């Protein structure tokens, strides 16, 4: 297992970028590059990471870095990989790294196609649960009840009225070699998965929970605490799917019936994006989370 203490000192995603304090995506990019190493090519669509890490003439990436269009991440990464192979540089790791909007919504078609063709790339979705770069609009990955600028909280509408899209399950349904979820709050699990994904051939999909203090109206110094609470309450499940088998890697505290035991309210109350939420909405969301947890357990059991 790779731990945060084993990482090289040299940064391949350097300081000097312009991410907000407490940005989960910046924490991820920095640590991720220490595992992926120099023989890596990054493709990045429009997203916060592009703006804070790669706006000309400044660049935090110390590896080749490409940007084309918002909806093309997986297909651009696949094209780069095929091109490199054809000039004898097929050993390079090609990574497509996009936000949740660029993955669960607008990049979905290219992503599904690349997964179905089993393109030899690593796709990383950092999940900050909204379109943050353009001013906090809801995405398919925004959770139920969350305030965003397009799901306002007022008398009639009280935040997002639909539930979070289950992208990792959609990717599992493609039958690709590797799908995993992780979180910036559990670096050893995250780094081990990155190391594993780096070595596997074929299509690999990682979805990483990345706190966004600005968009979630939360304190920057609580970034890791919030991310931990997401796992403890079952709002975010950490698992991996490899060669047709699924395993939940970090289990939250459960009661004797294997039900979740930490109420989601503890997670919601840490963030201003849920400030308006009613008791009725909380219980609706709690039921959804309980059901999702049961489903995740059942899938793990079925795919042992």
Ligand X SMILES: Cc1ncc(C[n+]2csc(CCOP(=O)(O)OP(=O)(O)O)c2C)c(N)n1
Residues 104-163, interacting with Mg ion (CB under 5 A) = 128, 132
- Residue from 2, 44, 128, 142 in contact with ligand X (CB under 6 A): 128
Q: Which does 133 bind (CB under 5 to 8 A by kind): Mg ion, ligand X, none?
A: ligand X
Q: Which does 102 bind (CB under 5 to 8 A by kind): Mg ion, ligand X, none?
A: ligand X
Closest CA to 216 of 18, 9, 7, 23: 23
Is 99 among the residues that bind ligand X (CB under 6 A)? yes
What is the four-CA torsion angle of 93, 231, 110, 90, rounded to 10 degrees?
10
- Residue from 133, 211, 233, 271 in contact with ligand X (CB under 6 A): 133
d(CA 236, CA 208): 10
Burial label, 258 (beta-carbon count in 10 A; 0-12, 13-18, 19+): exposed
- Nearest-approach distance from CB 143 to Mg ion, in angstroms: 12
DSSP string, the chain: ---GGGS-S--SB-S---PPTT-HHHHHHHHHHHHH-SSEEEE--SSHHHHHH--TT---BSS-EE---GGGHHHHHHHHHHHHHHTT-TTSEEEEEEEHIIIIITTHHHHHHHHHTT-S-EEEEEE-SSBTTTT-B--TTSPTT--BTTB-BSSS-BS--SPPP-HHHHHHTTT-SEEEEEETT-HHHHHHHHHHHHH--S-EEEEEE---TTTTT--GGGHHHHHHHHHHHTSS-EEEEETTEEEEEEPPPB-TTS-B-S-THHHHTT-GGGTT--HHHHHHHHHHHHHHHHHHHHHHHHT-
Of the two residues 131 and 241, which places its CB atom closer to ligand X in the complex?
131
- Residue from 2, 31, 60, 139 in contact with ligand X (CB under 6 A): 139
Burial label, 250 (beta-carbon count in 10 A; 0-12, 13-18, 19+): middle
Is 44 among the residues that bind Mg ion (CB under 5 A)? no
- Residue from 54, 79, 99, 145 in contact with Mg ion (CB under 5 A): 99
Of the two residues 2 and 103, which places its CB atom closer to ligand X in the complex?
103
Is 103 among the residues that bind Mg ion (CB under 5 A)? no
- Residue from 12, 28, 94, 132 in contact with ligand X (CB under 6 A): 132
Residues 234-293, interacting with ligand X (CB under 6 A) = none
Is 192 among the residues that bind ligand X (CB under 6 A)? no
Of the two residues 218 and 246, which places its CB atom closer to ligand X in the complex?
218
- Nearest-approach distance from CB 251 to Mg ion, in angstroms: 27
- Nearest-approach distance from CB 131 to Mg ion, in angstroms: 6
- Nearest-approach distance from CB 146 to Mg ion, in angstroms: 12
Q: Which does 52 bind (CB under 5 to 8 A by kind): ligand X, Mg ion, none?
A: none
Is 18 among the residues that bind ligand X (CB under 6 A)? no
Residues 34-93, interacting with ligand X (CB under 6 A) = 46-49, 70-71
Of the two residues 131 and 293, which places its CB atom closer to ligand X in the complex?
131
From 10-18, 97-105, 153-161, 289-297, give the range in contact with ligand X by CB under 6 A: 97-105
Of the two residues 67 and 292, which places its CB atom closer to ligand X in the complex?
67
Q: Please give the residue ranges that form the binding site for ligand X (CB under 6 A).
A: 46-49, 70-71, 98-102, 128, 131-134, 139
């Amino acid at each position: 297992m790779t731990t945060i203490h084993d990482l090289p000192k040299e940064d391949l995603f350097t300081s000097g970028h312009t991410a907000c304090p407490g940005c989960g995506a910046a924490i991820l990019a920095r640590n991720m590059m220490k595992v992926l190493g120099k023989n890596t090519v990054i493709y990045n669509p429009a997203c916060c990471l592009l703006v804070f890490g790669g706006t000309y003439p400044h660049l935090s990436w110390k590896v080749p870095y490409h940007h084309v269009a918002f909806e093309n991440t997986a297909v651009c990464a696949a094209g780069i990989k095929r091109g490199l192979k054809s000039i004898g540089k097929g050993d390079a790791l090609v990574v497509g790294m996009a936000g949740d909007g660029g993955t669960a919504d607008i990049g979905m078609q290219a992503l599904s196609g690349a997964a179905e063709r089993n393109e030899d790339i690593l796709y990383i979705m950092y999940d900050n649960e909204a379109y943050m770069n353009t001013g906090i609009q809801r995405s398919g990955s925004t959770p139920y009840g969350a305030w965003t600028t397009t799901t306002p909280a007022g008398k009639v509408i009280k935040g997002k009225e639909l539930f979070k899209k289950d992208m990792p399950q959609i990717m599992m349904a493609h039958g690709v070699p590797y799908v995993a979820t992780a979180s910036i709050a559990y670096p050893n699990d995250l780094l081990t998965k990155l190391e594993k994904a780096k070595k596997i051939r074929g299509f690999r999909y990682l979805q990483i929970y990345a706190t966004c203090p600005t968009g979630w109206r939360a304190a920057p110094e609580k970034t890791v605490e919030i991310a931990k609470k997401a796992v403890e309450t079952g709002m975010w499940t950490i698992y991996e799917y490899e060669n047709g088998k699924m395993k939940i890697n970090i289990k939250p505290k459960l009661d004797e019936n294997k039900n979740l035991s930490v109420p989601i309210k503890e997670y919601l109350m840490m963030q201003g994006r849920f400030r308006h939420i009613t008791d009725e909405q909380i219980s609706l969301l709690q039921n959804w989370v309980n059901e999702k947890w049961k489903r995740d357990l059942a899938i793990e059991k079925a795919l042992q």
